[in-house]
């Protein structure tokens, strides 16, 4: 049994490590926040997740290999793998055969949401690990050492309270389960002081919040006062997702069917339905699972957030166990029909696995983050630009968290000040304040109202009031009387797929009357288009109708660097009707290879002109 559990855990860990991002994967989710929180020993968003904050902080500072974000994600992968292994033991505690318990663990391990959470820095695999540990200890309370099992259940529940308090949703099921067992009640009467202590002791992890209150949360809203602590721990701001529907979520029966079929195959769901027949053999145990799943489902259906699927993971766990029970019953039926059932059982299990291989391959492709370098490339590109002294970058919180992570973890331009403001009016005010202080503001994205100033592209950033003039390009073309554009192509270093940067320099003697767009078309020797980018100048932030006479505007467009590409056609056309006004062709760059440098975290691809 333990060997099978170990095999399941190791197999799951290999799967999760293979699909895990080597660095920060995305900009707009909690995994980026947790990476910087771990490095700073800061406070995560409500409820604070103190147990998780301590674990990821230890991982970030003590694990000797990998990038910091990878180390933080490793906690999720390890918790996910441990959950899969314990699911085998939980299935055996339910009375399932080894194959039935192993199947339950396999269903959980490859459920898309659980898999996705196990390869990023998130709280949900640890939450499910503590849930499985709690259930396993409860089911083992009828074994040889009921007192020890109850102590384990109390400790698991207390750790759950110190991590993700939706573990409270299991309380009705636990009380019902205990009420149905006179033997366990007798041990409870003798053990209750010790059990209460084991439940409450892990709450000491919440001392992490006031102890790190001077660091605060990444958004700066944590208040290190008793009132601020209570508000943070109770997550009072999040109750709006229960009382209202701020995102206008529409969740009908079709939504939930799609959600579950993304987690469990039709065969697994059918086996889970059959697994309900297991209740006749283990009514007390199945009641614990079903009542707990129902409470979690009721909460998940009432919690109107943008990522509802993660709150259904306890339900997926129970469905996986019932699927294992259904498979166990099916094997029993086969065994009654064949005097030597081993061969048909093994063949049936092999066919079931083979039928799921295409589904697992498709899930693998959807969750694989092993090549997710885009966020890292953006951060390094932005902070590697020749930003002047007193430079200020203004953007939304996710983008600023990404840049701050690279500043603090990798020491890249720590002198550049970053301002996080999600509202456009706040970003506009931040730019005005920076200009008034004599600073040089840069934007990460288009900002309505910023066209009142002169704008230039500086790498992926938008410089307000213009950057230092770029040297003239050798490739120039007249677009209209008094308007010329120059083109320069240069390699763009990064970790992800090879790219080349096309810099467009607009010389504005007479501002155009029409709104212009540029189209950059990467072609091979036969004239076949390999890639195309159409955009408004300066990262869609500075339309030509806002240009001023005498400006020299720098624009930047990035294209992939493909071995088969030979040229780049640059076309300037009117946005209103698509009529081209001018075009020019420049040679494309071709990557000739370049190794990734693990010491610096960057790669230096070599290029040559075609």
Cβ-contact 522, 560 below 8 angstroms:
yes
Q: Quick one: average pLDDT of 287-296?
A: 94
Q: Quick one: average pLDDT of 587-604?
A: 56
According to DSSP, the β-strands at 461-464 and 455-458 are antiparallel
For residue range 349-393, what is the model confidence (pLDDT) as tens digits? 887 888 788 888 899 999 999 988 999 999 999 999 999 999 999
* DSSP per-residue codes, 532-582: EEEE-HHHHTS-GGG--TT-EEEEEEEEE--TTEEEEEEEEEETTT--EEE
Rounded distance, CA 603 to CA 495, Å? 5
Rounded distance, CA 98 to CA 5, Å? 9
Q: Quick one: average pLDDT of 526-548?
A: 93
Percent of the chain predicted with pLDDT > 70: 95
* DSSP per-residue codes, 427-491: HHHHHHHHHHTT-EEEESS--TTGGGS-EEEETTEEEET-PSPPPPPSEEEEEETTEEEEEEEEE
Rounded distance, CA 267 to CA 271, Å? 6
What is the pLDDT confidence band of residue 539, given thresholds at 50, 70 and 90?
very high
Rounded distance, CA 493 to CA 538, Å? 20
Q: What are phi and psi of 572, to 5 degrees?
A: -105, 125
What's the distance, CA 491 to chain centroid? 29
Rounded distance, CA 418 to CA 393, Å? 5
Task: Extract the tokens encoding 516.
Answer: 């212009």
For residue range 112-127, what is the model confidence (pLDDT) as tens digits? 999 999 999 999 999 9
Q: Which residues contact 203 (CB under 8 A, 6 or more apart)?
A: 158, 161, 162
| CA dist list (Å): 20 to 13, 25, 37, 545, 556 | 10, 9, 19, 45, 31
Helix (H, G, I), strand (E, B) or coil at 597: strand
Rounded distance, CA 91 to CA 323, Å? 10
**pTM (2 decimals)?**
0.87
Rounded distance, CA 320 to CA 131, Å? 14
Q: What are phi and psi of 606, to 5 degrees?
A: -90, 145
What is the pLDDT confidence band of residue 604, given thresholds at 50, 70 and 90?
very low
Domains of the chain: 2-235+247-367 (no CATH), 373-468 (3.40.190), 471-610 (2.60.40.10)
Among 140-154, 252-266, 274-288, 574-588, the range of highest mean pLDDT = 574-588
Among 159-173, 455-469, 473-487, 591-605, the range of highest mean pLDDT = 159-173
The DSSP call for residue 64 is -
Q: What are phi and psi of 119, to 5 degrees?
A: -115, 15
What's the distance, CA 347 to chain centroid? 38
According to DSSP, the β-strands at 391-395 and 417-420 are parallel
Calculate the dihedral angle through the C-alpha atoms of 126, 130, 135, 136, rounding to the nearest 10 degrees. Answer: 90
Does the pLDDT value for residue 3 go beyond 60?
Answer: yes
Mean pLDDT of the chain: 89
Strands in 455-458's sheet, in edge-to-edge order, are 417-420, 391-395, 440-443, 461-464, 455-458
For residue range 209-234, what is the model confidence (pLDDT) as tens digits? 999 999 999 989 999 999 999 999 99
Rounded distance, CA 534 to CA 540, Å? 10
Q: What is the pLDDT of residue 469?
A: 58
User: Among 497, 536, 508, which Cα is nearest to 520's?
Assistant: 536
Does the pLDDT value for residue 594 go beyond 60?
Answer: no
Task: Extract the tokens encoding 236.
Answer: 């009072």
* DSSP per-residue codes, 238-290: GGHHHH--TT-----HHHHHHHHHHHS-HHHHHHHHHHGGGGGT-HHHHHHHH
Strand partners, 593: 606
For residue range 61-93, what is the model confidence (pLDDT) as tens digits? 999 999 999 999 999 999 999 999 999 999 999
Q: Nearest 5°: CA angle at 336, between 330 and 337? A: 95
Percent of the chain predicted with pLDDT > 90: 67
Q: What is the pLDDT of residue 81?
A: 98
For residue range 191-211, what is the model confidence (pLDDT) as tens digits? 888 989 999 999 999 999 999
Rounded distance, CA 450 to CA 341, Å? 75
Cβ-contact 483, 507 below 8 angstroms:
yes
Strands in 516-524's sheet, in edge-to-edge order, are 529-535, 516-524, 565-574, 580-587
What is the pLDDT confidence band of residue 595, given thresholds at 50, 70 and 90?
very low
How does 464-490 read in b/e, with b if 16+ C-beta sit within 10 Å?
A: bebbeebeebebeeebeeebbbbbbbe
Q: What is the pLDDT of residue 473?
A: 62
Count of alpha carbons within 13 Å of 162, Cβ hemisphere only? 25
Rounded distance, CA 360 to CA 264, Å? 11
Rounded distance, CA 34 to CA 71, Å? 11
Among 298-307, 401-410, 519-528, the range of highest mean pLDDT = 401-410
For residue range 542-559, what is the model confidence (pLDDT) as tens digits? 999 999 999 999 999 999
């Amino acid at each position: 049994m333990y060997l099978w559990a170990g095999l399941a855990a190791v197999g799951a860990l290999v799967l999760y490590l293979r699909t895990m991002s080597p660095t920060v994967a995305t900009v707009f989710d909690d995994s980026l926040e947790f990476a910087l929180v771990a490095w700073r020993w800061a406070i995560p968003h409500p409820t604070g997740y103190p147990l998780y904050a301590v674990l990821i902080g230890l991982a970030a500072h003590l694990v000797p290999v990998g990038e910091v974000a990878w180390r933080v994600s490793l906690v999720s992968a390890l918790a996910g793998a441990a959950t899969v292994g314990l699911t085998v033991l939980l299935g055996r505690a339910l009375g399932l055969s080894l194959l039935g318990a192993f199947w339950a663990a396999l269903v959980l391990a490859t459920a898309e949401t659980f898999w996705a959470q196990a390869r990023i820095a998130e709280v949900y695999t640890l939450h499910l690990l503590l849930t499985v540990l709690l259930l396993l200890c409860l089911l083992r309370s009828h074994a040889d050492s009921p007192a020890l099992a109850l102590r384990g259940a109390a400790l698991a529940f207390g750790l759950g309270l110190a991590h993700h308090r939706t573990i409270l949703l299991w309380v009705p099921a636990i009380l019902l389960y205990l009420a149905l067992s006179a033997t366990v009640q007798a041990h409870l009467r003798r053990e209750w002081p010790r059990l209460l202590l084991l439940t409450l002791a892990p709450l000491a992890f919440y001392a992490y919040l006031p102890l790190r209150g001077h660091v605060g949360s990444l958004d700066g809203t944590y208040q290190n006062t008793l009132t601020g602590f209570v508000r943070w721990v109770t997550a009072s701001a999040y109750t709006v997702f229960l009382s209202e529907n701020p995102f206008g979520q529409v969740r009908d029966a079709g939504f939930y069917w799609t959600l579950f079929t993304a987690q469990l195959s039709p065969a697994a769901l059918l086996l889970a339905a059959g697994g309900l027949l297991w209740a006749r053999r283990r009514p007390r145990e199945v009641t614990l699972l079903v009542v707990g799943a129902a409470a979690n489902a009721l909460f998940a259906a009432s919690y109107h957030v943008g990522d509802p699927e993660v709150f259904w993971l306890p339900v997926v766990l129970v469905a996986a166990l019932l699927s294992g029970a259904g498979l166990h019953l099916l094997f029993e039926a086969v065994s009654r029909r064949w005097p030597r059932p081993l061969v048909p059982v093994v063949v049936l299990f092999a066919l079931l696995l083979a039928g799921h291989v295409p589904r697992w391959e498709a899930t693998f492709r959807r969750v694989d983050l092993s090549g997710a370098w885009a966020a890292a490339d953006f951060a390094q590109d932005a902070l590697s630009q020749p930003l002047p002294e007193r430079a200020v970058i203004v953007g939304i919180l996710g983008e600023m968290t990404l840049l701050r992570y690279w500043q603090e973890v990798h020491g890249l331009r720590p002198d550049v000040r970053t301002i996080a403001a999600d509202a456009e009016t706040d970003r506009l005010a931040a730019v005005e304040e920076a200009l008034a202080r004599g600073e040089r503001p840069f934007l990460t994205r288009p900002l309505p109202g910023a066209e009142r100033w002169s704008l230039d592209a500086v790498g992926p950033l938008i410089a307000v009031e213009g950057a230092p003039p770029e040297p003239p390009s050798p490739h120039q073309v007249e677009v209209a009387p008094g308007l010329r554009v120059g083109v320069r192509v240069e390699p763009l270093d990064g970790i992800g797929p090879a790219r080349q940067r096309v810099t467009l320099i607009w010389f504005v003697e007479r501002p155009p009357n029409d709104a212009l767009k540029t189209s950059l078309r990467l072609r091979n020797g036969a004239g076949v288009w390999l890639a195309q980018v159409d955009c408004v100048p300066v990262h869609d932030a500075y339309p030509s109708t806002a240009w001023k006479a005498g400006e020299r505007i720098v624009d930047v467009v990035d294209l992939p660097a493909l071995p088969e590409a030979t040229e780049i056609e640059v076309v300037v056309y009117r946005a209103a009707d698509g009529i081209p006004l001018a075009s020019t062709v420049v040679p494309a760059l071709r990557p000739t290879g370049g190794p990734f440098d693990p010491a610096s975290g960057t790669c230096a691809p070599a290029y040559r002109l075609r």
